[in-house]
Structure 1
Amino acid sequence: MSEKLLVRRAAVLGAGVMGAQIAAHLTNAGVDTVLFDLPAKEGDPNGIVLKAIANLAKLSPAPLASRSLAEAITPANYETGLELLKGCDLVIEAIAERMDWKQDLYRKVAPFIAPHAVLASNTSGLGINKLSEVLPEELRPRFCGVHFFNPPRYMHLAELIPAKATDPAVLEGLETFLTTSLGKGVVYAKDTPNFIGNRIGVFSILATAHHTGESGLGFDEVDALTGPLIGRPKSATYRTSDVVGLDTMAHVIKTMADTLPDDPWHKYFRAPAWLEALIAKGALGQKAGAGVFRKAGKDILVLDLEKQDYRPADRKAADEVVEILKTKDPAEKFRRLRESQHPQAQFLWAVFRDLFHYSAYHLADIAETARDVDLAIRWGYGWSLGPFETWQAAGWKQVAQWIADDIVAGKAMSDAPLPDWVFDGRSGVHAAEGSYSPGQDAKLPRSALPVYRRQRFPDPLLGESFPLGETVFENDGVRLWTDGDDVGVVSFKTKMHTVSDQVLDGLQEAIGIAEKKFAGLVLWQPKEPFSAGADLAGALGLLQAGKVDAFEAMVANFQATSQRIKYALVPVVAAVRGLALGGGCEFQMHSARTVAHLESYIGLVEAGVGLLPAGGGLKEIAVRASQAAGPGGDVFAELKKTFETVAMAKVSTSAVEARELGLMRPADKVVFNAWELLHIARQEALALAGSGYRPPLPARRIRVAGDVGIATFRMLLVNMLKGRFISEYDDEIATRIATVLCGGEVDRGAVVDEDWLLRLERKHFVELAQQDKTQARIAHMLKTGKPLRN
């Protein structure tokens, strides 16, 4: 059993963009963190670090789960602060990519590193063994590489790179900490330049650039082809390069050229002429306002190599190529790509062929198994399938033959032969029993480290499946299942996990079964989102058909389901990740406990479609305000904290912020690894049940803010209306929200019950739903996915 790595305090050396963001994410995870940099030449010696911490608030996407966390980072410098290192359990170095600078810093800090502490370099490609040469002997077993991908809060990948002397127990402790505490997906890489992710990912970009030149396609055309159409992020190839920074791209390419002289593809490891020209002009991408793409007003322009100038970015993927890419069967898709004479199809085949060729040729040098390569690319570059999975899905043997034919015909970028194992009769590299390791010539299973027992459904590779437990009950809306651990798990079957009549009826049925058969119930979805809220299309259909009674009955059923969750005799735990909007948010508000992944975007967004929350959400806020104020306290002051959140349809940017917005409770849990969410939610349900859970007593004495509260909210709204921050219709919706929150036109301090508040919610919801402007907002949202301000 390896020892746990206990991290009470961590240090990050280097307050550049990457170092500051790593410090931010450690702080998100509740780790007391010290951030170091050089002493400032004038003023406060910690000035450089203080500036970097202030800058965290300006970055998008936000590195901090809440802006208030910035204050928790301790600033320090290498002249006066080194004593602070003695109290740190983990030290991560993240300074510029220069071997001499890193080694100088190691010499300086080594005497201050505690005898038990781990030192790791966040280098993106320098040799880990070479870096370790300057360390004292006793520190070397506790040194390794840990490469976070940018931005470190959001990118799932962390590459762990052992040096020759690294103690395996240290690696296991660090792997466990990275997985559970920071929420990362850990892949072990060998100590080779650029490790796995950037070695394969940057080669893919270089191959794409090479074939762009060969095919004469435009940069915008290539981005149209190499984004979501082939299962990759919207930023595709060139927009990604602009975001990363063209200077950074050139630097990584130069690292490959300098450190991989014997690579058979070496002649391609150079920045294309257009890239060098852009860098020379200072057009470094997004940070400089121009790169391959640039914005002119609202228009997006793209560099045109023939014109040597920018033109509108309007070239798309050709219809016949889109048609090929939509082919369901991957084998058929690749056959059609290779046979097509269309330049875009030929370009795509060439890019895939050279990527497969490169990945297979180098697999043995860079990674232990094909799994490590595929997960590194998926988690670090956001592809839906890694290179080996894509190849295997397309028919391993046939594709291998095509690649070999193209090598012989001189069409491939390199004439290096494919390795022998590719042709040993195999039909792929991934199977249920494991993934292929060329070094051991065997399929190796996933890691057996105890931390992975917390992942009931790990991110599956091609050929892997994890059975979904035993079904206890199922209808068209939900499935209730169990693994025999005394906890029922209920998952929605609708698109985006929206709430339909079948979901409402199914949930009520599932709770009834759970009360008889289980100790607890968890609401969990196998994939994001948790729930995008009510089924708007169904609701709009009822309204347009004039079925107001049926519509009101649906709302009443929604409220009844929320109340059933709240008053269930077993604890109902909501396991939230991704979007939890509208009804999805209300369900978690009514659960006994919410367990939310850090990247949960929670909000009562009904105002955006001209409605107000009516699944018990406003009622619940009023109940909580009354409880928080206590006897004789100021209910209005409590309501004021949440009113704007609801009236402006605010969505949290993290689970931590959802707590601050009053949409999650202080006792609700935030989880860092999405794959551990189900495990933690079950543990929470069992813990609540084990401690003698009873639902709350019905809230029959809710003190409300009444007419005075409504009038005070009206004053706020009049100012917003005059300042043109809101439209007249926004004002009407917000007034109705205020009316429900304050318990209606009753005296201030009046006492009401939950039914009173639910009736108010329902009345105003149904009245709003019948207005033309609301129906226009709903229709606009369904059509465009964006809110309409009317």
Structure 2
Amino acid sequence: FHYIAYHLESIADNARDVDFAMRWGFGWSVGPFETWQAAGWNQIAEWVKQDIEEGKALCNAPLPAWVFEGAVAEKGVHTPEGSYSAKSKSFVPRSTLDVYKRQEFRAPVFGSGAADPKTAGTTVFEDDSVRLWHTGDDVLIVSLKTKMHVIGDGVIKGLQRGLAEAEKSFKGLVIWSADAADGGAFSAGADLQSALPAFMAGGAKAVDPIIRELQDTFMKMKYSNVPVVAAVAGLALGGGCEMALHASKRVASIESYIGLVEVGVGLIPAGGGLKEAAVRAQREAKGNDILQFLKTGFTNAATANVSKSALEAKAMGYLKEDDVIVFNPYELLHVAKVTARSMFDAGYRAPIQRPVTVTGRYGWGTIRGQLVNMRDGGFISAHDYKLGDMIAEIVSGGDIDQGSVVSEQWLLDMERKAFLELLNNPKSQERIMGMLQTGKPVRN
């Protein structure tokens, strides 16, 4: 604090610039001036002054006079009027250049009184799980409020409500959460904790309607009459990844970590993630051998592979070629809303549900052969083999002829059946409880 106060005048236009440089340079959530102000400006200033006078500081240079003067002594360096500049001895407001109009909620600074995205705009509906709101520009926004934006019953009901509201009164729906730009999550997946009571009371059968409703909601998103845009930033894992996959389009921050990670808790994706792997493989194959295009989707799910960036997510197939990557996370909401409106204005219509051509037992058997080699070679455990085999069966369409045509619902039913079977498996239960208790995957 002594150092930044002494050098502020010569190194930066104002205190805000120092805080942003330190935050963005080192990945901090708050900067040094913000920390000082949050801890009590005058108290810290007096302690630093006392240490200097007693020779306990690293340097005997006195604190600048402005630290103890006027509005700084009263409020600190960050105020709603702006941040303090030692050079001009005034509070400097934020830049009003047009480029910043793309940032509806700019990087917040402690004490600046910036607009809070959790309360901004007009709220259409709000409960403990979601907030539906808009800013008067014909696009409805769904913001998830759960911890790490996990998907439980409240979020599913909120998405259903948002879809109905958007189809009735708006040009599009954007899924965007307020803290994602500051290193939060788009969604860390399904809320296993909330499903535990149902499982304990009625076993796997009691979980069946929950999974079915999740699948139905994601399919409603995919075939909505208005465009649904997933504004992805941070973690999009498991069910969060599947939610993004079922949007009409994805707008992703460059720092997006996307993947189907269910095998880590001894389960398989059951929200349509494997179904989408089969659908996309068929589309990309364009009449060629679908298996060659299916390998990526299978491997990603079977190894719980997570992208290290949005660019890698494109290479992995979680983002499509025409999905938008945004380099400034504070512009994500603007780009997502513009994307939704432009799709609507271009005459958006819900896609037609088309049948899926699958590889059948040919694809399943080919992948299974490789899994057997890995199991017998000691590279994967017997339970890893079981999970991989189930994933291979689903993405291949099951024990049917190569080139068979199935519906998306056929694949979703296979996902759900396999998921419920695994819930009753002791090895999977070990992995689930291990993750809930320690937060780390169990290898068994």
SS of 2:442's equivalent? coil
2: CA distance, partners of 1:592 / 1:439: 50
Please tell me the residue identity of whatever aligns with 1:745.
Answer: D
Give the secondary-structure state (helix, strand or coil) at the position aligned to 1:394. Answer: helix
Counting only pairs closer than 5 Å after superposition, residues 266-305 of structure 1 correspond to structure 2 as none
- Partners of 1:730 and 1:401 in 2: how far apart? 60
Check conservation: 1:519, 1:570, Cα contact below 8 A: yes
Does structure 1 conserve the Cα–Cα contact (< 8 Å) formed by 2:22 and 2:28? yes
Within the candidate set 293, 305, 312, 1:657 is matched to: 312
Query: For 1:765, which of 386, 400, 419 is the aligned residue?
Result: 419
What root-mean-square deviation, in Å, do the aligned CA atoms of Structure 1 and Structure 2 show?
Answer: 1.5
After superposition, residues 129-168 of structure 1 pair within 5 angstroms as none
Whether 2:139 is the aligned partner of 1:487: answer: yes
Q: CA deviation at 1:484?
A: 0.9
Deviation at 1:359, TM superposition (A): 1.5
Matches for 1:30-429 after TM superposition, within 5 Å:
356-425=1-70, 426=73, 427-429=75-77
Q: Tell me which amino acid in the other structure corresponds to 1:538.
A: S
Task: Find the aligned partners of 1:372 and 1:659 in 2 and give their Cα distance.
Answer: 34
Structure 1: distance between partners of 2:313 and 2:265 = 21
The corresponding residue for 1:544 is: 200
- Tell me if 1:626 matches 2:302: no
Q: What are the within-5 Å matches in structure 2 for residues 547-562 of structure 1? A: 547-562=203-218
What's the CA shift for 1:643? 1.1
> RCO (CA 8 Å, sep 6+): is it higher in 1 or 2?
2
- Give 3-state SS (helix, strand or coil) of 1:436's partner: strand
Within the alignment, does 1:439 sit opposite 2:87 as a pair? yes
CA distance in 2, matches of 1:604, 1:418: 53
Secondary structure of 1:395's counterpart equals helix
- Secondary structure at the aligned position of 1:766 is classed as helix
Q: Within the alignment, does 1:462 sit opposite 2:117 as a pair? A: no
Matches within 5 A, 1:568-583: 568-583=224-239
Conserved in 2, the CA contact under 8 Å of 1:543 and 1:770?
no
2:187–2:236: 8 Å Cα contact kept in structure 1?
yes
Instruction: Map 1:381-780; keep pairs closer than 5 Å.
Output: 381-425=26-70, 426=73, 427-464=75-112, 465-467=114-116, 468-527=120-179, 528-630=184-286, 632-699=287-354, 701-780=355-434
Q: What SS is found at the alignment partner of 2:255?
A: strand
> Any conservation in 2 of the 1:533–1:582 contact (CA below 8 Å)?
yes
| Residues 252-286 of structure 1: per-residue CA shift (max 9 Å, x gap) | xxxxxxxxxxxxxxxxxxxxxxxxxxxxxxxxxxx
Q: Matched residues in 2 for 1:702 and 1:367: separation?
A: 59
2:272 and 2:103 mapped to 1: Cα distance?
Answer: 33
Distance in 1 between the 2:14 and 2:143 partners? 34
* Conservation of the 8 A alpha-carbon contact between 2:204 and 2:423: no
Distance 1:550 1:540 in 2: 10
SS at match of 1:558: helix
The alignment's TM-score, normalised by the length of structure 1, stands at: 0.54
* SS at structure 2 position matched to 1:398: helix
Aligned-residue offset at 1:706: 1.2
Shift of 1:691: 0.6
For 1:620 and 1:554, locate their aligned partners in 2 and report how far apart those are by CA, in whole Å. Answer: 20
Shift of 1:471: 0.9
Matched residues, number: 433
2:367 match: secondary structure: helix
Task: Report the residue type matching 1:715 in the other structure.
Answer: G
Q: Give per-residue Cα distances to partners, 1:298-328, cap 9 Å, x unaligned.
A: xxxxxxxxxxxxxxxxxxxxxxxxxxxxxxx
Larger Rg: 1
Q: CA deviation at 1:365?
A: 1.5
* Distance in 2 separating the partners of 1:393 and 1:772: 49
Structure 2 letter corresponding to 1:392:
Q
Letter in 2 for 1:569: N
Unaligned runs of 5+ in 1: 1-355
| Structure 2 counterpart SS, 1:667 | coil
Q: Which amino acid aligns with 2:292?
A: A
In structure 1, C-alpha distance between the alignment counterparts of 2:364 and 2:68, rounded to whole Å: 75
Q: Which runs of 5+ in 2 are unaligned?
A: none
Task: Decide whether the 8 Å contact of 2:171 with 2:341 is kept in 1.
Answer: yes
Note the C-alpha offset of 1:752: 1.2
Question: What amino acid does structure 1 have at the position aligned with 2:212?
Answer: A
Deviations 1:571-598 (A, max 9, x none): 0000111111011000111101011111
Listed one character per residue, the Cα deviations across residues 387-416 of structure 1 (whole Å, up to 9, x for unaligned) are: 221121122222222322332233323332
Which secondary structure does the structure 2 equivalent of 1:555 belong to? Answer: helix
Contact 1:574 1:593 in 2 (8 A): yes
Counterpart of 2:350, as a letter, is P
* Structure 2 CA distance for aligned equivalents of residues 745 and 664 of structure 1: 29
Question: SS of the residue aligned with 2:252?
Answer: strand
Percent identity, aligned pairs only, is 54
Task: Give the counterpart letter for 1:479 in structure 2.
Answer: R
